[in-house]
Amino acid sequence: MKIISQNTAFDGMQGVFSHESEACQCEMTFAVFVPPQAIKEKRPVLWYLSGLTCTHANVMEKGEYRRMAAELGLIIVCPDTSPRGNDVPDELTNWKMGKGAGMYLDATEKPWSDNYRMYTYITQELPALVSEHFRVDMDRQGIFGHSMGGHGAMTIALKNPETYKSCSAFAPIVSPSTADWTPDAFTKYLGEDQAAWRPYDACALVEDGARFPEFLIDQGTADSFLETGLKPWLFEEAIKGTDIGLTLRMHERYDHSYFFISTFMDDHLKWHAERLG
């Protein structure tokens, strides 16, 4: 693991690191905020998954999470959204596909399947690396994210309820199978058979029997992607008749930006802290 940068913040440490990833077959970069409590004891860890076109840096620079994370004693890990490098397949003119658009899945179609294995990276490889180098209590993990990252967080939680104790999302893509900006990527990553898409679709996972105790979703009503790409009401409909809890908060005038995310970041950190103990 290489140290790219380390800076003191709120008596904790904000670091950026890189390592050679076996899952993604390239060098991957991630950020970690270590609160002051982790100097002496293991602390809960909260994984933040960023959205389309983003890297680890977007939330690190604009998410405004460090003050509250330091107060609550939460370790925050911010992975990249996709594999990077000159040898990694990409579509340079398509922001919905390739680098920056890994969709937190394990691709099965060539040429993407060699590198685009973000599901394995997020759920297996990176946790093993983080637990080796930081004082992380791996029995107390939560996960959250924004947009594509919200999709990733919700699907990962639904498939791994024994690993994660909490999950929340900012403006998540709850039904990528029907959203206007994801079917093209799903087809290229996973093939044309939509049965292969269902393990990476929160609504489909619930329909197929996956369960998680509860979710917190914040969504802005001025979000330009709301009606065609995000559609949180579809998840609200999907969980009817199940024991899945949902707190869905719609916020007037808020859009899809980090101005929206930073406004409600404290609420999400407190939500997770209550459930992580």
Residues 6+ apart with CB under 8 A from 33: 9, 12, 13, 14, 15, 60, 65, 66, 69, 70, 75, 76
Active site residue 218: no
**Residue of 56, 146, 256, 272 with catalytic role:** 256
DSSP label of 41: S
**Residue of 175, 218, 223, 268 with catalytic role:** 223
Between CA 211 and CA 245 the distance in angstroms is: 10
Structure tokens at 44: 């809960």
Between CA 59 and CA 51 the distance in angstroms is: 10
Residues 6+ apart with CB under 8 A from 162: none
**Residue of 147, 166, 168, 175 with catalytic role:** 147
User: Which residue matches tokens 């604009």?
Assistant: 62
User: Which residue matches tokens 């394995």?
Assistant: 120
Strands 26-34 and 75-79: antiparallel
CB 150 within 8 A of CB 171: yes
Closest of 142, 275, 159 to residue 211, by C-alpha: 159
Active site residue 251: no
Active site residue 168: no
Between CA 255 and CA 259 the distance in angstroms is: 8
Closest of 47, 184, 60 to residue 129, by C-alpha: 47
Closest of 7, 99, 3 to residue 55, by C-alpha: 99
C-alpha dist (Å) from residue 221 to 33, 50, 172, 185: 31, 20, 13, 26
> Catalytic residue numbers?
147, 223, 256
